[in-house]
Structure 1
Amino acid sequence: MLLTRMIDGLANAVCLAFAVIAATAMIESKPANARPSPDFHRFVESLWPDAKAAGVSRNTFDAAFAGLTPDLSIPDLDLPGRPKVDNAGQAEFTKTAADYLSKPYLEKLGVQGRRFMKEHEAALKRIEKLTGVDRYILVAIWGRETAYGSYHPPKDAIRMLATLAYTGKRKERFRVELIAALKMLQMGIPRSDMKSSWAGAMGLTQAMPTEYLKYATDGDGDGKIDIWRSVADALAFTARQLQGKGWARGERWGFEVIVPPPSDCSLEGPPDARPIADWVRMGFRRANGKPFTRNELKQSAYLMMPGGAYGPAFLAAQNFQVIRLYNTSDLYALFIGNLSDRIRGGGDFVTPWKSFAQPRTVTVHNLQARLKELGYPMDKIDGKIGSNTRKQIGLYERASGLTVDCWPSEVVLRHAQSQATR
């Protein structure tokens, strides 16, 4: 019996040793940034004064963070060993405009959107009358964010927001969103409802917690606000957001136009906004051949060319800018605008996309940095291709005698790197 116990003990010891070795190997095989930082709990405790000031109880606070660890696999984190600039993140910034604005996908969503319009016509008309926000835009947002209700974000909003506030590249912004999410818990919203994208956006139309606290609306008149299950509540919430950001009742989001020579993509961007009548005097015209109305000629708009010289051009009006405030991407706003037109009965863009490649994010980042060194105003060095980046590339190309296409490429980067700093 004693011998048996000794043998069993030895076997258990050997098994334990192998288990420890295996566990150690597993830990060491993980990248360093996959292990929670030891000061995460200190970070959480640093949130308490702000949470308390926002009306969050200690019980709610402690329950929210019980056993919580950061998710270091999500994008937009500032971690040792992770590249500062990479292509991880939103499709709005990692796909070409032609890929993002996929014709088959837009056609599919357009057909589904017309069906959705009929099913929810009464609620949509009521919300449009109340807020002034075009119901076709609301349906387009619904389609883009949820594929008409078939997409349900899988992540825990508190964990996502805590991670981004702890070690994200935009810590302060997400700290504010995290406190707002704690307020939502304090209001009685179940944690199980608060499923989100990796960036913490929640609900059927994907909105941040601060937006929920500011604009959430009872759209179906049942005395409750449920942006997770009630279509009318979610649509009314989205309409209130757009209304609050400056939606202009009765106006279009924008117009596809033909750019006349010698004008080009270097005119792009909000700083060059002017009345549409001025664009017409410069030779710009609607791509579909229709004239602008008298009211439209008075509206201010700026040139927007998301593919530089390789695709359609648009005059982006007030409501385009409002959609862009809802989601800060030219491509997103253009997707919503075109999808709303398709749901209304319109079709594809008139000007076709040419063949062009999406540059690496690091190429865009380095070109932005180099152009700034050369004296071209860059508001952000972030590796993302926005209107100002395209504009400054175009101005540099024009000044350097290069072909003006307003598109970041290795060719333009090498040329800029060869120039002496001003």
Structure 2
Amino acid sequence: MSFNTTFFRACTLVFCSVLAWTCLVGSSDARPGDDFPAFVEGLWPEAKSAGVSRKTFDAAFAGLMPDLSIPDLDLPGRPKVDNSGQAEFTKTAADYLSVPYLTKLAVQGRKFLKDHDTGLRRIEKLTGVDRFTLVAIWGRETAYGSYKPPNDAIRMLATLAYTGKRKDKFREELIAALKMLESGVPRSDMRSSWAGALGLTQAMPTEYFKFATDGDGDGKIDIWRSVEDALAFTARQLEGKGWVRGQRWGYEVIAPPKSDCSLEGPPDTRPISEWVRMGFRKVGPKPFTADEMKQDAYLMMPAGGYGPAFLAGQNFRVIRLYNTSDLYALFVGNLSDRIRGGGDFATPWDSFSQPRTKTVHDLQARLQTLGYPMDKIDGKIGSNTRKQIGRYQKTNGIKIDCWPSESVLKHANSQAAR
């Protein structure tokens, strides 16, 4: 394969860096990162067809080395499953939905809402996404502007595309990030989380080209410095993912005595009127309205049998598409309610422990072998994992709490051994 002089020089710099690193560790064996230059070389045809110039491409990768310390990498010697990922999957619901932190963000959010009232109302009218949810996302993602992403996005995305557990996804994001550079976004603005999320409200590069919007009307799109551009960008993303104007994210409910957490999950979505007929009751003095009774929702119990229950509507699903986590969507939903003037959940969290990711992973795998369908075997506790645990517990006559634990894993292993 032939390359022009500029690219050859850039790759030479990368090869030399790898060679020097290899010599320093004093081993002749191939090590993680050794074939990174070849990976970069293989990106060029795809980047070129996406409209990225040779000049932009070469500058992006000149001297770049992967960061092999970040989570979610598939590396020799690194455990396939560990607890080093996102807080949404490594903290208990009670810890993640910290009341003091939510209270603090709600106070700040009401001030932010007042300070940006005109712009927020304009965005709400334009997209249908309520301003309280937008402010809640702003608070969760940036602590109202105080969070500064620490990493170079190109390096993060290149690392994840090179040796991440989801290479194809991050390869697409990396090409989109290169297109952002080509479009004139300065490299200095390309600061991100370890997963490559950019801008004030932390979104992926592919989303930028779909939904970035001039929210402040100055003729430019700047999701790094313009609060209104960033919020309009977020609103457009939510709108594009199916946001329903005028609907809430969901409702806390009190479950009837004969129900249990094995009813949880999107496959059991039904009109709220059916949940009411089954005995579920909305928390608070006001019952569901006639319009609310017609809305579809599913049962969501993020701590299984150890905490509150919710009927999650379409807009909960949309928030979850923005960040694929029940706890994230619940955090945003509750914070938006607090900013409106609401408070804490009526049902307290019971005392329970967060299982090791490996325990969750092994239980998912074991239940699948026993005939319980799993969307993913990834060590993350989602609604389907909780549901299938509940179904297993109900079938086998053991305590139904829908929560992954060593005792449930031990029981499932004994069943498989028969």
Aligned partner of residue 203 in structure 2, secondary structure: coil
Q: What are the superposed Cα offsets for residues 356-400 of structure 1, whole Å, 9 maximum, x if unpaired?
A: 000000000000000001110011100000000000000000111
- Which residue pairs with 2:266 in the alignment? 270
C-alpha deviation, 1:258, in angstroms: 0.6
What are the within-5 Å matches in structure 2 for residues 7-26 of structure 1?
none
Aligned partner of residue 418 in structure 1, secondary structure: helix
User: Which of residues 386, 405, 411 in structure 1 aligns to 2:407?
Assistant: 411
Distance 1:420 1:356, change over 3 A: same
User: Which of residues 44, 47, 50 in structure 1 aligns to 2:46?
Assistant: 50
Aligned partner of residue 47 in structure 1, secondary structure: helix
1:166 corresponds to 2:166:
no
- The percent of aligned pairs where both chains have the same amino acid is 79
- Which residue pairs with 2:119 in the alignment? 123
What are the within-5 Å matches in structure 2 for residues 335-354 of structure 1?
335-354=331-350
What are the within-5 Å matches in structure 2 for residues 255-266 of structure 1?
255-266=251-262
| C-alpha contact 1:78 1:168 (8 A) present in aligned 2 | yes
1:241 corresponds to 2:237:
yes
C-alpha deviation, 1:289, in angstroms: 3.5
Aligned partner of residue 255 in structure 1, secondary structure: strand
What are the within-5 Å matches in structure 2 for residues 239-388 of structure 1?
239-388=235-384
Q: What are the superposed Cα offsets for residues 273-317 of structure 1, whole Å, 9 maximum, x if unpaired?
A: 000000000000112242001110000000000000000000000
| C-alpha contact 1:287 1:351 (8 A) present in aligned 2 | no
| C-alpha contact 2:32 2:75 (8 A) present in aligned 1 | no
What are the within-5 Å matches in structure 2 for residues 205-244 of structure 1?
205-244=201-240
Rg bigger for which structure?
A: 1
1:390 corresponds to 2:386:
yes
- Which residue pairs with 1:194 in the alignment? 190
Indicate the RMSD between aligned Cα atoms, in angstroms.
1.7
- Which residue pairs with 2:25 in the alignment? 27
C-alpha deviation, 1:72, in angstroms: 0.2
Counterpart Cα distance in 1 of 2:146 and 2:270: 41
Aligned partner of residue 303 in structure 1, secondary structure: strand
C-alpha deviation, 1:25, in angstroms: 11
C-alpha deviation, 1:27, in angstroms: 2.8
C-alpha deviation, 1:261, in angstroms: 1.9
Distance 1:399 1:36, change over 3 A: closer
TM-score normalised according to structure 2 size? 0.93
Counterpart Cα distance in 1 of 2:277 and 2:379: 35
- Which residue pairs with 2:99 in the alignment? 103
| C-alpha contact 2:33 2:65 (8 A) present in aligned 1 | no
Counterpart Cα distance in 1 of 2:36 and 2:263: 47
| C-alpha contact 2:297 2:311 (8 A) present in aligned 1 | yes
Moved over 4 A (4+): 23-26, 32-36
C-alpha deviation, 1:28, in angstroms: 6.0
Q: What are the superposed Cα offsets for residues 241-290 of structure 1, whole Å, 9 maximum, x if unpaired?
A: 00000000000000000111211100000000000000000000112242
What are the within-5 Å matches in structure 2 for residues 18-97 of structure 1?
27=25, 36-97=32-93
1:145 corresponds to 2:137:
no
Distance 1:124 1:55, change over 3 A: same
Distance 1:33 1:202, change over 3 A: farther
C-alpha deviation, 1:39, in angstroms: 1.0
Distance 1:40 1:266, change over 3 A: same
Paired positions, count: 398
Distance 1:145 1:274, change over 3 A: same
TM-score normalised according to structure 1 size? 0.92
Q: What are the superposed Cα offsets for residues 178-203 of structure 1, whole Å, 9 maximum, x if unpaired?
A: 00000000000000001000000000
Unpaired stretches in structure 1, ≥5 consecutive residues: 1-22
| C-alpha contact 2:153 2:197 (8 A) present in aligned 1 | yes
C-alpha deviation, 1:140, in angstroms: 0.1
1:182 corresponds to 2:190:
no
C-alpha deviation, 1:24, in angstroms: 9.6
